[in-house]
Structure 1
Amino acid sequence: MSKNWVVVPTCLSIVLRRCHRCASGRFRANGKFRVNANHKFLHAWLLALCTECGDTTKLAVLERMNVRSVRPELLHMLHGNDPGLAAELLQDPVVRRRDVGGSGRTERPAWQSPYGPPPHRGHRGRWAPVPGVAWSRSAFRRGNLCDRCV
């Protein structure tokens, strides 16, 4: 008898990028967009806040696009600060590669699991396979699981 588990993200991904103000390496996207039109060209950015100092950075979504070539539904989602669009764009490799310094690195979002909170950091121990839990194998590779965690 197999069980199907639903694992859903609880927050947006963390963008790994250096802050020019405090030299932190992490930004959290807050799901808000900035849209700017200059004559017939459109620019759109996803705004992200530094996790240490709160400074804002912009991740380019659209650059110098002709206004007529942008779908009206996309423009409406950008104006409405759609969180689903923000989550989709943070997983898009083209957007990540464009603004994360060429590496395209983001951390995975926090996941909600039917087994409770994620494992404790800094503890080492044996790994017990838990079917359907997204963090179990990756945490084992990093060596962050203890006997209390599984």
Structure 2
Amino acid sequence: MSIEYIWEVKTQNTPLLKKKCNHCDSNRFQCSDKFRLNAQKKNIDVWLIYRCVKCSNRYNMTLFSRIRTESISKDIFNRLSENDADLAWEYAFSFETRRKNNAEADLDSVEYEIQFDKIPVEEMIASDGEMLSFKIRCLFEFNLRLSTMIRTCLSLSSGKLNQLIEANAIFVHEKPLQKKHKARNGDIVQIHKGKLKNVLYREEIQTEAILRE
């Protein structure tokens, strides 16, 4: 039975917002991990608070506007009231939230670490099965390319990766990998072991073939 390896992306920060500050010359705001709630009778407004990276001027990103308090689940309401950082990150990474606020994120500002077992490729190739299988854990989406993860985790050069893609050796959910494919939580990457071996050891294989002639 083949082994499924895990590649996990750990983000270090939320993306900055591309927004010009009206108090200084900065054009970036950072998430404060805090919410502002304003209740009026039976309605409530909720914002995610951002601060200018230079002067700390505040910008409130709308999450809920004039909605009935009972429309928010008790769990979410409690997390909002307690400034739950995990919930703040969910909203900060949410494309839909930014779209509704006509806001643009600087996704290149997200720092991250890829956690994976540093198993030699030779050992993986020697395992059972025709394909190597890798499951992606990536809680937040920020335009990280799968090709970048593959290069990092398998220590491949750009040239070797391109050869694998051209040989149709890499698949995502059983479809050939496209270089523009972004990493998403739950993605399954499969790599054909025979083709991987040929690409990695092509020069050695060619040399052995010449010597046998």
* Map 1:60-139 → 2, pairs under 5 A: 60-99=62-101, 102=102, 104-107=104-107, 109-113=110-114, 129-131=151-153
SS in 2 for 1:59: strand
Cα distance, 1:107 vs structure 2: 2.0
Q: Find the aligned partners of 2:47 and 2:77 in 1 and give their Cα distance.
A: 12
Tell me the equivalent position of 2:60: 58
Cα distance, 1:70 vs structure 2: 1.3
SS in 1 for 2:6: coil
SS in 1 for 2:90: helix
Q: Which amino acid aligns with 1:59?
A: M
* Bigger Rg over Cα: 2
Tell me the equivalent position of 1:148: none
SS in 1 for 2:48: strand
Cα distance, 1:7 vs structure 2: 2.1
Cα distance, 1:103 vs structure 2: 5.2
Q: Find the aligned partners of 1:30 and 1:45 in 2 and give their Cα distance.
A: 11
Q: Find the aligned partners of 1:36 and 1:79 in 2 and give their Cα distance.
A: 11
| Unpaired segments ≥5 residues, structure 1 | 116-128, 137-150
Percent identity reads: 24
SS in 1 for 2:153: coil
Cα distance, 1:74 vs structure 2: 0.8
Kindly indicate whether the alpha-carbon contact (under 8 Å) linking 1:13 and 1:87 is maintained by their aligned counterparts in 2.
no
TM-score, normalized by length of structure 2? 0.50
Q: Find the aligned partners of 2:6 and 2:96 in 1 and give their Cα distance.
A: 32
| Unpaired segments ≥5 residues, structure 2 | 117-150, 159-213
Kindly indicate whether the alpha-carbon contact (under 8 Å) linking 1:89 and 1:95 is maintained by their aligned counterparts in 2.
yes
Tell me the equivalent position of 1:14: 16
- Aligned-residue RMSD, C-alpha: 2.9
Tell me the equivalent position of 2:129: none
Kindly indicate whether the alpha-carbon contact (under 8 Å) linking 1:45 and 1:59 is maintained by their aligned counterparts in 2.
yes
Aligned residues: 122
Name the structure where helix makes up a greater proportion of residues: 2
TM-score, normalized by length of structure 1? 0.69
